[in-house]
Amino acid sequence: MSILWTIIIGLVAGVIAKFLMPGRDPGGFIVTILLGIAGAFVANVLGQSLGWYRQGEGAGLIGAVVGAVLILVIYRFVARPGRGGTV
């Protein structure tokens, strides 16, 4: 159940991250949502390793948004045309 909750929070975090960082993404809106899901998983792992969350406890919306924005920044840098990206 915690994985399903992380995916749902990640979807919302991806949408919020897209609104916080407007502009053209190399992958579009769907990729941004997928990056939001990845951001939620990153927030879970980092939060548990730093002791912010207990084992089995998921990251909140704010942590997932921070993770999604972080991953979106990295993705934009890597996937930017002319910088070694594929797009």
Q: What is the pLDDT of residue 39?
A: 82
What is the per-residue pLDDT for 26? 62
Number of domains comprising the chain: 1
Q: Which of 47, 31, 40 is nearest to 12 (CA)?
A: 40
Residue 39 resides in a domain: yes
Q: How far apart are CA 53 and CA 59, in angstroms?
A: 7
pLDDT at 84: 53
Q: pLDDT 10s per residue in the chain (87 long)? A: 567 877 787 788 878 877 887 776 666 677 777 877 888 888 878 877 887 777 766 667 788 888 888 887 887 788 766 655 455
d(CA 1, CA 15): 22
* Number of other CB atoms surrounding residue 42 within 10 Å: 20
Q: Answer whether residue 20 is part of any domain.
A: yes
Domain contains 50: yes
Give CA–CA dist 32/20, Å, rounded. 12
Domain that holds residue 38: 2-79
Domain assignment present for residue 18? The answer is yes
The reply to whether 84 falls in a domain is no
86 assigned to some structural domain:
no
13 in a structural domain: yes
